Structure 1
């Protein structure tokens, strides 16, 4: 039996009348029943659970679904849900351009830790004292949806930003304030890796783009991440390889070509060296 290509959802295909979709989660999963299949979005995706169980996999990291958890995902991440019993909560989807004309800095959203594409940072436990406020913000947004206008869209943007700022306060104690120069450099390094991982594989390439030495870049990564700059680059290549391998109709050789490896053999050796398994074996582990 031929397996289906995993879907890539666009916000326009989810019955949205604009660049934003907000609503209750139970009706949302009732309308979109293929959430158990690995898929990607071309938009930002946030889900806040008030009831439910099961698990959620984001970029091959598995998380247990619990009430009062919030999941935040960025465009391009591969994820899937596996629910047990009824689930309730809220969903918020918005396009990458939703805030562009509203904010002076188009990349402002990327400043939030939970919107930086790191799976382990995208799952938040909402404390009891904040739960009512988070639910109220979602309810305010839902009330604006039936009559979308420019004014209501701006109100939605303000409410969404209030939600993000409230959530950002959850890890405030762990963040140095103000941001140190090294943290800014690390953030910029990760952004560059996200854009150029397929063609730039050496720390010296990124150090040149950041106007620092390779040794300094390695020192920053070691201090803040506990890994070398080379590991950051390799991990991003491996992540994208796994994302591509989820597609059963994409040949291994095509994955190798997409990631700019010389040939299939070179890619297979790289993948096995850093994951302990071959691309073919990894693909067989995907349901």
Structure 2
């Protein structure tokens, strides 16, 4: 193991969005992150598994996987795959003037695995791929329109009620995005409430309404998930992980981790490696 996870970038520096057929020679990959982009993988053929963070999914086409920029994922594919990979970089989202596309992407990012209607979705991927291969992103309205249709179809298949809500990104979604920002994770509700220009009490109320959890519970889940990733996929010491996750000392982190998992960090690492 290494102290640094591999970070892959499948795009050229000038690309803000990219689509290509899923490579048929992909079988097993090492755990890795992506370089500031959101990935949508649509598979129409293949078998095996896809692991996102610590959650393993069986590949049963037609199937769609999404991978956020902060997530670790890897493949263990057993038979020849077929489908498409759609990459959306942060630059595209920042530059996009269509607020509905941003809302659709924010909603879709909550679904790591979907089982869509391939009959209606596959033609959209085929057309988008053909358009991109012929013209790149030069035909922006065409690409944006096709992307919007794909996102809408995906959320329809997930029966996601939020797809038809207001274009405004909610405070809850902003809160989740703040948790996903690297090097800013902390176990303090007041810290995030301040960044959201609200009070801890109001942030708790928002979380209760959206997720039936307190803000503390949501933060705890995220911290434990990040701790597990670091324990599984790096050889950082428990003390280094404690510091990275903003705990005052190793002892505090160990007690916190054990309270949520019933294992010490070292025991968790030994059990799963």
| TM-score interval (norm. to shorter) | 0.7 to 0.9
Aligned to 2:172: 186
Q: Separation in 2 of the partners of 1:113 and 1:21?
A: 20
Say whether 1:18 aligns with 2:47.
no
Match of 1:275 in 2: 261
Q: Give the distance between the partners of 1:216 and 1:203, measured in 2 at CA.
A: 11
User: Following TM superposition, by how much is the alpha carbon of 1:18 offset from its aligned partner in structure 2, in angstroms?
Assistant: 2.6
- Give the equivalent residue in structure 1 for 2:82: 88
- Which structure has more relative contact order (CA 8 Å, sep 6+)? It is 2
Hey, what's the Cα distance between the residues in 1 that align with 2:151 and 2:104? 11
TM-score, length-normalised on structure 1?
A: 0.79
Runs of 4 or more above 6 Å deviation: none
Find the aligned partners of 2:9 and 2:81 in 1 and give their Cα distance: 23
Deviations 1:176-215 (A, max 9, x none): 964599x923223323333488454233443444454434
Q: Which runs of 5+ in 1 are unaligned?
A: none
Alpha carbons of structure 1 residues 285 and 10: separation in structure 2 relative to 1, 3 Å: farther
Q: State the distance in 2 between where 1:263 and 1:173 align.
A: 41
Counterpart of 2:60 in structure 1 is 66
Structure 1 Cα separation of the partners of residues 38 and 64 of structure 2: 13
Aligned residues: 272
- Cα distance in 2 for residues equivalent to 1:111 and 1:159: 14
Aligned-residue Cα RMSD (Å) equals 3.3
Q: Which residue of 1 aligns with 2:124?
A: 137
Cα-to-partner distance string for 1:58-104 (whole Å, 9 max, x where unaligned): 12122221111111111110112222322222111221112433425
Specify whether residues 178 and 21 from structure 1 end up closer, same or farther in structure 2 by C-alpha distance, changes over 3 A only: closer
